[in-house]
Amino acid sequence: MAKSRSSSGSGTDALEEALDEVYLGNFEGFVTRRNELAKLLRAQGSGEAAERVRALKKPSRVAWAVNQLSARDAALRDGLLDAGAALRRAHERLVGGEAGSADLRAIGEQERAAVGAALDALGVLASDAGVNLSPAALERARQTLHAVTLDEGVRRDFERGRLSSEHEATGLGGFALGAAPPVRKGGGKRSSGGKDRERLAARRRAEELEAAEAEAEARELERSHRNAEEKVEAARRSAEEAQRDLKLATAALSEAESAASAARGRVDGLRERGS
């Protein structure tokens, strides 16, 4: 069942609904559905739209399964998107010095939990539809789901159920800021220059995050150091106060002993005179 769309009756909405059926039908029938839609559009006089539809690439098994999850499990889809938004905000706060690395790790755990839940459901959806995903394919699906949370373009295609390729989440410690180029089957390779630019951009993002994490950890260590110094200073003041109290108590005890001794002397003198 395709995702519901606003029923404004416009040609764009009708085409999007038709594309939902193309992308979200059974895996093997994609090409047939695509060609039939292109033929219908051409018959309706929409030659340009027909050409665009005819050029659509059949999704890989993994991309098809991720599209199924997006369309058929709104709770997990929205949970994944929310976790990605929280992780991106944590990145921004970390880079801006407003959060610590512990905050980022906690948000990262939530993102990984959302990805894990989505992956489990994705496997079930694919199996129920007669598409078995190997362990290697499921790992590629996991990487693609991570890319959904971190990369704007991948996320947009996921929300629309229009992924055609698999993606790899790259970065430091599972906290990637972007996604690598999609895995392409067969031809259509990107130029080496384009790949180099993407790798350089990913490396810069990774270095930026690494520097932000190091700075956050340094701030946390500095705060811990200050707290330790404050505790030492408080303990020192307490010790000095205790020392002063001890001196005062010792002096008071000495005075009391002297007074008691003098009192005993007077008592003894009175006894002697009385005898």
Residue 171: pLDDT band (50, 70, 90) is very low
Helical (H) or strand (E) element with 179: strand 178-179
Is residue 5 very low, low, confident or very high in pLDDT (cuts 50, 70, 90)?
Answer: very low
Q: Over range 43-71, report the average pLDDT.
A: 95
- 101-145 tens-digit pLDDT: 787 788 889 999 999 999 999 999 999 999 999 999 999 999 999
pTM strictly above 0.75: no
Give the closest residue to 89 by CA, choosing from 106, 69, 113, 76.
106
* C-beta separation of 140 from 156 below 8 A: no
pLDDT in tens, 258-270: 888 887 878 777 7
Q: 167 and 158 in contact (C-beta within 8 Å)?
A: no
Residue with tokens 């594309």: 19
Residue range 209-231, pLDDT digits in tens: 656 655 666 656 666 667 777 78
